[in-house]
Structure 1
Amino acid sequence: MPLFALSRRSGDVITPLRTLATVVAGAGLLTLAAKVQLPFWPVPMTLHTLAVMALALGLPPRLAVAAFMAYLAAGACGLPVFSGSPERGIGWVYLMGPTGGYLLGYLVASGLVGRLAASDSSGIRRLLAMLAGLLPVYVLGAAWLVRFVPFDQVLALGVTPFLLGDLAKVLVLAAGWPLLSRGADWFRSLRS
């Protein structure tokens, strides 16, 4: 069973309040991940990849997407949830800036990874799903970044500096996932 999955097992009914709490908690995790950053230009390096992939593995795909949509909505409304905000802008100004394509890519990845990595999948399948999830992040991010930097510098500024870090985050999450799942199962058993 996924880390944060909400399911109908042994009389456990999914309630709208519980679903809302899960989505808000996911958006909160994404906000915290955005605030942990190394300053790069034009796109800062954050823990977004780690948080997006963890939510995509741990939540049903629709809830992982809903959590990211809630995060984007909070940012669009002007809350300083994005990395570098409010200093680098807030609301729609930030969303339309250099990181907008990456945020859209994370939204796509949040649903894609969950669909590719079934809850009972092997570690290899989870790893491959996360690697596949990086593809829309980089493709959409780089395509959007062309609006802000010369075409011949897009890879050097918007992809290359982040590849090793993102691969390391994905590998750490893939390796630690069984431990995280067991910890979540233990925590759920305390509520029973």
Structure 2
Amino acid sequence: MLKTKDLVLVALFAAIIIVLGVMPPIALPLVPVPLTLQTLGVMLAGLMLGPWRGLMAVVLYLLLAAAGLPVLTGGRGGLGAFMGPSGGFLLGMLAGSWVVGYLARRAAYHQKELLHAVSGYALSAFIGGVLVVYLFGVPGMALALNMSLQQALMAALMFLPGDIIKVLIAAWLTFRVRRIYPL
């Protein structure tokens, strides 16, 4: 049974994912693909809330999107978004948020030293928030766009520099927040 605090945190992090997802993309120098912040919210949910509450925040976010609310990047919503090139990435966020939370609990929650904690959070966010999301997203993109897995992977790798920046931001923010207010 979830406590009121858990429900509030799940709703709060679903809202954070929405706000980060609808923010305009950020152009990075030397990178041909703009940076969107949607997956930063997914990483933060897993890192700060743990595997189950983080997963529930992403489930709530995706249910709102599936219901047609314009909460996805670019103001999209509806079931059609799950059938397009980003559909696999959206589904990958479910598994990714859980993996991020699980790994962070094992690797970093009890670390007091900045370097150990941030590196544990960063590794957790990279494995769950990037690798696991790509594991679902790349095949989904290949299927939706009728391209080979190799072509889809090469297209997805253009997002990697931005994803690494998001991993580092999520790790640092999590360390700072959890020192002040352990969720």
TM bucket normalised to smaller: 0.7 to 0.9
Once the 2 structures are TM-superposed, how far is the Cα of residue 115 of structure 1 from its aligned partner? 0.8
Match of 2:102 among 111, 115, 137: 115
1:48 and 2:38 matched: yes
Once the 2 structures are TM-superposed, how far is the Cα of residue 180 of structure 1 from its aligned partner? 2.5
**Residue pair 1:34, 1:83 contacting (<8 A) in 2 also:** yes
CA 1:84–1:107 in 2, change beyond 3 Å: closer, same or farther? same
- Residue by residue over 1:44-74, the C-alpha shift from the partner in whole angstroms, topping out at 9 and shown as x without a partner, is 7421221111111110311100010001111
Residues 149-168 of structure 1 mapped to structure 2, 5 A cutoff: 149=145, 150-151=147-148, 152-157=150-155, 159-168=156-165
Would you identify which runs of 4 or more consecutive aligned residues in structure 1 move more than 6 Å?
none
Match of 1:38 among 25, 33, 41: 25
TM-score by length of 2: 0.80
Aligned to 1:101: 88
In our comparison, the structure showing a higher alpha carbon Rg is 1
Question: Structure 2 unaligned runs (5+)?
Answer: 28-32, 112-116
Residues 176-187 of structure 1 mapped to structure 2, 5 A cutoff: 176-184=173-181
Once the 2 structures are TM-superposed, how far is the Cα of residue 96 of structure 1 from its aligned partner? 1.4
Once the 2 structures are TM-superposed, how far is the Cα of residue 174 of structure 1 from its aligned partner? 2.1
Counterparts of 2:47 and 2:17 in 1: how far apart (Å)?
14
Match of 2:121 among 108, 114, 126: 126
Match of 1:175 among 149, 172, 177: 172
Q: How many residues in Structure 1 have an aligned counterpart in Structure 2?
A: 167
Aligned to 1:58: 48
Once the 2 structures are TM-superposed, how far is the Cα of residue 113 of structure 1 from its aligned partner? 1.0
Counterparts of 1:174 and 1:16 in 2: how far apart (Å)?
26
Match of 2:131 among 116, 135, 143: 135
Once the 2 structures are TM-superposed, how far is the Cα of residue 100 of structure 1 from its aligned partner? 0.8
Q: Could you say what the CA RMSD is over the residues aligned between the two structures, in angstroms?
A: 2.4
SS in 1 for 2:79: helix
Once the 2 structures are TM-superposed, how far is the Cα of residue 172 of structure 1 from its aligned partner? 2.4
Counterparts of 1:154 and 1:113 in 2: how far apart (Å)?
24
Once the 2 structures are TM-superposed, how far is the Cα of residue 178 of structure 1 from its aligned partner? 2.6
Question: Structure 1 unaligned runs (5+)?
Answer: 1-13
Counterparts of 2:102 and 2:12 in 1: how far apart (Å)?
21
Counterparts of 2:94 and 2:34 in 1: how far apart (Å)?
18
**Residue pair 2:93, 2:133 contacting (<8 A) in 1 also:** yes
TM-score by length of 1: 0.77
Once the 2 structures are TM-superposed, how far is the Cα of residue 179 of structure 1 from its aligned partner? 2.1
**Residue pair 1:64, 1:110 contacting (<8 A) in 2 also:** yes
CA 1:23–1:176 in 2, change beyond 3 Å: closer, same or farther? closer
Counterparts of 1:39 and 1:123 in 2: how far apart (Å)?
24
Aligned to 2:30: none
**Residue pair 2:26, 2:34 contacting (<8 A) in 1 also:** yes
**Residue pair 1:38, 1:44 contacting (<8 A) in 2 also:** yes
Percent identity of equivalent pairs: 33
**Residue pair 1:44, 1:83 contacting (<8 A) in 2 also:** no
